[in-house]
Amino acid sequence: MSAHTDRYETAAGRYFEAWNATEPEALKKAVAAAWTADGGYTDPLAEVRGHEGIAAVIAAAHEQFPGFVFRPLGIVDGHHDTARFGWELVNEADGSAPVAGFDVVTLDAEGRIRQVLGFLDRVPAGA
């Protein structure tokens, strides 16, 4: 595995740690570890910048889908300062995954996320 590939996988790993943090202090720390201070997150349902905004989007997802975890789908692919990866939102009780998508992230020189562009491939009706 190349150092470059490891950089993308490490960034994606920190990203999933943030999305799976449910306690406020753990979420705050995970977001700070994954994103730059002025980092952004944009998907069809949200557009925020900064750690507080990103943490609020993640907390809202946990409120809407309690008992669910974000899991990677497939491999992390990247080049230059950009990576992409698929994900799904999985119910820990029954294994169902009503939400899935993929994200494209840009990284800074230290491998922290500057921007996320998220795409939703599967969303339940009414969500």
The secondary structure of 13-73 as a DSSP string is HHHHHHHH--SHHHHHHHHHHHEEEEEEEEETTEEEESHHHHHHHHHHHHHHSTTEEEEEE
Q: What is the pLDDT of residue 1?
A: 45
Judge contact between 7 and 57, C-beta under 8 A.
no
Share of the chain above pLDDT 90, in %: 92
Residue among 47, 46, 51 at smallest CA distance from 64: 46
Residue 85 has pLDDT above 70, yes or no: yes
CA 38 vs. chain centroid, Å, equals 16
Whether 43 contacts 118, CB under 8 Å: yes
Rounded CA-CA distance 59/75 in Å is 26
Query: What percent of the chain is modeled with pLDDT above 70?
Result: 95
Work out the mean pLDDT of the chain and round it to a whole number.
95
125 pLDDT band (50/70/90 cuts)? confident
Which tens digits make up the pLDDT trace of 52-76? 999 999 999 999 999 999 999 999 9
With a cut of 90, say whether residue 5 has pLDDT above it: no
Give the per-residue pLDDT at 124: 84
